[in-house]
């Protein structure tokens, strides 16, 4: 199923979960090396990466200048909006600009109207987006999930979902045994009509987080073709909603 973001106490995924930080020398030495490389590549384009409600936001950005260990980029408006939320940006390694390893930079200044971002405090990173096989979307409204056992039903709430699986919270953990296969039923609403479609499938419990309720459980889906189509339709609807929301988001 690939990497799945686990929400913090506020229900917001921590950006750190989208990459592994790598330290080669000291953090200070690494930052200086990265800044020197950026200085040598002013005017070139770099591919930035952020996430908004689990949707990858990735556009090319032009490096305008590097001064005082800070790099100013001309970015896409959507990228600037999300950087303003996450306070960081990931930069892909690319042959076109000579960046051999992924990088993370902290936001010092963001102006989405002017499409300008200044990043600083750089570090090496290993971006984990390649582990994702499917588009994942985070849900704002409550979507019910029922885990049906032989003599018990656990009712949960879907946090995020993709064609391959989901993160779901439960107030009990009796059936949440990693490696076990469970009967899972999702109550997916239609964004246009509000009608609820129940989608059933076998799902494997991949992992469980939390020492007390609510427990967050990561499932891998094993749906039949019709159920797969219903999930795909729901994910696509939600993806369109998120992009529209990002477009209207005040920067």
pLDDT tens, residue by residue, 127-152: 987 667 889 999 999 999 999 988 88
Predicted local distance difference test score (pLDDT) of residue 176:
93
pLDDT tens readout for residues 69-88:
999 999 999 999 999 999 99
d(Cα 218, Cα 204) in Å, to the nearest integer? Answer: 8
31 burial level (CB within 10 Å; 0-12, 13-18, 19+)? buried
Q: Is the pLDDT of residue 163 over 90?
A: yes
As a whole number, mean pLDDT of residues 36-40 equals 96
pLDDT at 17 exceeding the cut of 80: no
CA 130/CA 148 separation, integer angstroms? 33
Q: What is the mean pLDDT of residues 231-241?
A: 95
Beta strand 165-170 pairing with 70-74: unpaired
Average pLDDT over residues 206-219: 94
Domains of the chain with bracketed CATH? 15-131 (2.40.10), 136-248 (2.40.10.220)
Instruction: Locate 231 and state its tokens.
Output: 């999930």
- Of 39-43, 51-55, 139-143, 190-194, minimum mean pLDDT range: 190-194
Confidence (pLDDT) at 131 = 66
pLDDT at 151: 83
Note the pLDDT of residue 132.
Answer: 73
Mean pLDDT in the chain?
Answer: 91
Which pLDDT does position 7 carry in this prediction? Answer: 45
């Amino acid at each position: 199923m690939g990497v799945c973001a686990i929400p913090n106490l506020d229900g917001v995924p921590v950006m750190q979960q989208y990459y592994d930080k790598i330290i080669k020398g000291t953090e200070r030495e690494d930052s200086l090396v990265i800044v020197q490389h950026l200085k040598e590549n002013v005017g070139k384009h770099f591919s930035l990466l952020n996430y908004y409600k689990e949707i990858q936001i990735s556009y090319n950005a032009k490096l305008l200048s590097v001064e005082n260990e800070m790099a100013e980029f001309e970015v896409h408006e959507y990228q600037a909006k999300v950087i303003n939320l996450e306070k960081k940006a990931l930069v892909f390694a690319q042959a076109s600009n000579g960046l051999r390893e992924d990088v993370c930079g902290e936001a010092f200044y963001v102006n989405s109207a002017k499409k300008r971002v200044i990043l600083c405090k750089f570090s090496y990173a290993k971006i984990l987006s390649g582990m994702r096989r499917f588009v994942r979307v985070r849900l704002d409204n409550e979507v019910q999930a029922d885990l049906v056992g032989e003599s018990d039903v656990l009712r949960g709430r879907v946090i995020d979902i993709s064609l391959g699986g989901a993160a779901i919270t439960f107030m009990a953990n009796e059936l949440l045994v990693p490696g076990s296969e469970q009967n899972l039923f999702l109550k997916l609403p239609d964004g246009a009509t509000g009608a609820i479609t129940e989608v059933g499938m076998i799902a494997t419990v991949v992992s469980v987080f939390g020492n007390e309720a609510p427990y967050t459980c990561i499932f891998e889906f094993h749906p039949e073709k019709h159920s797969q189509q219903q999930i795909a339709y729901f994910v696509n609807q939600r993806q369109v909603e998120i992009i529209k929301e990002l477009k209207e988001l005040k920067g």
